[in-house]
Amino acid sequence: MNILIVSNMYPSVEKKYSGLFVLNQFNELKSQLNGNEDIDFFYMKRTMTNFLGSVIKYMLFFVKFPFFILEKRKKYDIVHVHYYYPTIYIALLYKFIFNSEVKIIVTFHGADVDFTKKTIFYKLPLKYIDLAIGVSDNLSKKISSFYKGEVLTISAGIMNDFKPEKRFKSLANREYDLLYVGSFYKADKGFDILIKILKNIELQLNICFIGSGDQEYLINQIKSFHKITKINDLCQSEIIKYYYNTRYLINTSRMESFGLVIAESMSCGTPVIATKTDGSLQQIKNRVNGFFIPTENTLEQTKIIQEKLKISEVNYKEMSLNGIKDAAKYKLSNITNQLVSIYKTINS
């Protein structure tokens, strides 16, 4: 059985974390397959992010694909596409030109469901998909509204390096009150929501921001209210120590199909305070392993966060251990075990 992973998301110098979870998934799958199975990866790096750059890189993406196939000299039994549109056309190119019997699996990641599903170019390839995967239950329900085939829920998976400490780390030994990990963007990531909340919190907090983005200037607006640590994008192994060293991860996204940082944080025993998105609803149990805050209503957001910062050591420890337990199912090895099983079934 030969498998080809196709993705329009892949890390680059400009976007270090774009599609990193797909790369991690590919590497883990490669380590699990036996001698009678092989897997390759055809990808587009996240470079030239303006409109013209995007047009050029997609053109090159499609032009390079036939040469990639001819170079590999393999007949692929399965093409697994990450991010449906327009990446699905790579899979169709392979099906119509190289192997009409190939099985096509698509993992939808969120934005590829919400923004373009009503166009004819989006709908047309759906009939060629053999299996669809959503990274959260709510996302899978959205997919089922326009794709009538089988839909499963399988998250991207967190690295196995995210292992909980055997010894619980008390509140007193955590340096930061809040940690934000991700892009500093207003629209989907809701970075403007976070800054607005922090302006209204009366307590002086020690806050760590890890990431980059076009709303970074907003951090300067809260430096007079709180102690701020700003760190540029870090690799996953470096981020772990910040999860361990923080009371809460905070996530104020307006839209999040899964949210790997939520699973990573809980895996390290750090509860999460988050707005309600498909991803947070999939992972967070309110008052059990984390807390929800409304997307709007700054007073209510502020009230909840200030209350949780005063939580007792006993309650915090219970919530921390619950998070470790709940995040275990999202370990990358567990996710890829499911995928290998699916590959074998669909190819039988």
Residue 158 and residue 327 in contact, taking contact as beta carbons nearer than 8 Å: yes
Which of 134, 77, 142 has the alpha carbon at shortest distance from 104? 77
Please give the Cα distance from 92 to 312 (Å, whole number): 56
Contact assessment for residue 171 and residue 270, using Cβ atoms and an 8 Å cutoff: no
Contact partners, residue 184, CB within 8 Å, separation at least 6: 191, 209, 211, 212, 213, 214, 215, 216, 218, 219
Q: Residue holding tokens 């110098």?
A: 13
Q: How far apart are CA 222 and CA 215, in angstroms?
A: 13
Under 8 Å CB-to-CB from 46, ≥6 apart: which residues?
9, 10, 11, 12, 14, 15, 18, 19
Give the pair of three-digit tokens for residue 111: 């934005």
CA dist 296 and 34 (Å) reads: 50
Q: How far is CA 183 from the centre of its chain?
A: 12
How far is residue 65's CA from residue 60's CA, in Å, rounded to a whole number? 8
Scanning the structure block, which residue is given the tokens 């199909």? 257
**According to the model, what pLDDT value does residue 168 have?**
67
What phi and psi values does residue 292 have, to the nearest 5 degrees?
-100, 145
Q: Which pLDDT score is estimated for 14?
A: 63
pLDDT of res. 163: 65
Q: Which domains does the chain have, with CATH numbers?
A: 2-157+331-347 (3.40.50.2000), 171-329 (3.40.50.2000)
At residue 76, the pLDDT reads 98
* CA dist., res. 323 & res. 306, Å (int): 20
pLDDT given at position 6: 98
Q: In the prediction, which pLDDT does 115 show?
A: 58
Any alpha helices (H) in the chain, and if so which ranges?
20-32, 51-72, 88-97, 111-114, 120-123, 137-144, 191-200, 236-244, 260-267, 278-283, 298-308, 313-327, 332-347
- Predicted local confidence at residue 95, as pLDDT: 98
Count of H-run helices and E-run strands, the chain: 13, 12
How high is the pLDDT of residue 181? 95
pLDDT on residue 10:
83
Statement: the pTM of the whole predicted model exceeds 0.75: yes
Written as one letter, the residue type at 183 is S
Walk along the chain (348 residues) and give the pLDDT tens digit of each residue: 999 999 998 876 666 666 788 999 999 999 988 778 899 999 997 666 667 777 888 999 999 999 999 999 999 999 999 999 999 999 999 999 999 999 999 999 988 986 555 788 999 999 999 999 999 999 999 999 999 999 999 998 988 776 655 556 788 889 999 999 998 988 888 999 999 999 999 899 999 999 988 899 999 999 999 999 999 888 777 888 999 999 999 999 999 999 999 999 999 999 999 999 999 999 999 999 999 999 988 889 999 999 999 999 999 999 999 999 999 999 999 999 999 999 999 998
